[in-house]
Amino acid sequence: MTHILHLDASARPGRAGTDEHGSISRRLTHRFVTGWKSRHAHDTVTYRDIGAAPPSFIDQPWIQAAFTPAAHRSPWMAEVLAESDQMVDELIAADILVIGAPLYNFGMPATLKAWVDQVVRLGRTVDYDPSQPEDPFIPLLAERPRHAIILSSRGESGLGPGGPLAHMNHLEPNLATVLEFIGITRIHRIAVEHQETGGELLADSIDAAERDVDALIAHLAPALHTAEQEEPA
């Protein structure tokens, strides 16, 4: 059974095409998750709306607690890390991470960056081995295959790989760096462009992205479920 962790980071609460001023990235994540569940009803989903309920920003007490070995933490440190521990547990449990994220000012929404800072944790999602100075970081989520799907929306065009404005896009590259750092290396990207332009260009981009979402479901589902069946009992 496949487990999905579904994150929405858009500040817009609704879905484009359904709600007034709705979010395009939420529309894409909804399509992926509902499309997946329609094919595999027994698979499970954990949903976290970080756009509506932002994770806490890390601060000095968080840093002190996170970098104190678990055996030496004071009770207050466990309280400080409780939110982070829950988010890390959700991520570790996931086989597929679905992230809906608009491109805000060339990067990820602050709410998504707050989630990233909560889940990149020494001893939980990454370890450090000073005896190997050339490559001291050990990704702890590489113990089994996990997929990350980044579904984004952009105001302008040409921001994808190879595009004339690709150098200004720090959303997907940043997320890919973080996810690979902790061991999630199977990363898929689908984006809608022309959000500022609107009209037919936007409509065509949404249609293309939704076709890509459907194709990705069709591609991933057999591979993941076959892998599960092949695992030893």
Please state, rounded to an integer, the average pLDDT across all residues of the chain.
Answer: 94
Extended strands (E) in 9-62: 44-49
Q: Is 217 annotated as a binding residue?
A: no
Q: How far apart are CA 161 and CA 78, in angstroms?
A: 41
Q: How far apart are CA 125 and CA 19, in angstroms?
A: 37
| Position 164, amino acid | P
pLDDT single digits (tens) 29-47: 999 999 999 999 999 999 9
Query: To which H or E segment does residue 187 belong?
Result: strand 186-192
Q: Tell me the Cα Rg of the chain.
A: 19
Give helix then strand counts, H and E, for the chain: 7, 7
Q: What is the pLDDT of residue 167?
A: 96
Q: Computed from CA positions of residues 159, 164, 169, 175, in that sequence, does the dihedral angle turn out positive or negative?
A: positive
Number of domains in the chain: 1
Q: Is 24 annotated as a binding residue?
A: yes
Q: Is 10 annotated as a binding residue?
A: yes
Q: Is 153 annotated as a binding residue?
A: no
| Position 233, amino acid | A
Q: How far apart are CA 94 and CA 139, in angstroms?
A: 16
CATH number at residue 19: 3.40.50.360
pLDDT single digits (tens) 155-170: 999 999 999 999 999 9
Running along the chain, 233 residues long, what does each successive block of 10 average in pLDDT?
Answer: 97 92 96 96 97 98 96 95 98 98 97 98 95 92 97 94 95 97 97 92 96 96 68 50
**138 lies in which domain range?**
3-230
Q: How far apart are CA 98 and CA 189, in angstroms?
A: 10
**What value, to the nearest 5°, has the Cα angle with vertex 148 and ends 206 and 127?**
150
Counting Cβ atoms within 10 Å, is residue 34 exposed (0-12), middle (13-18) or buried (19+)? exposed
Q: What is the largest CA-CA distance in the chain?
A: 59
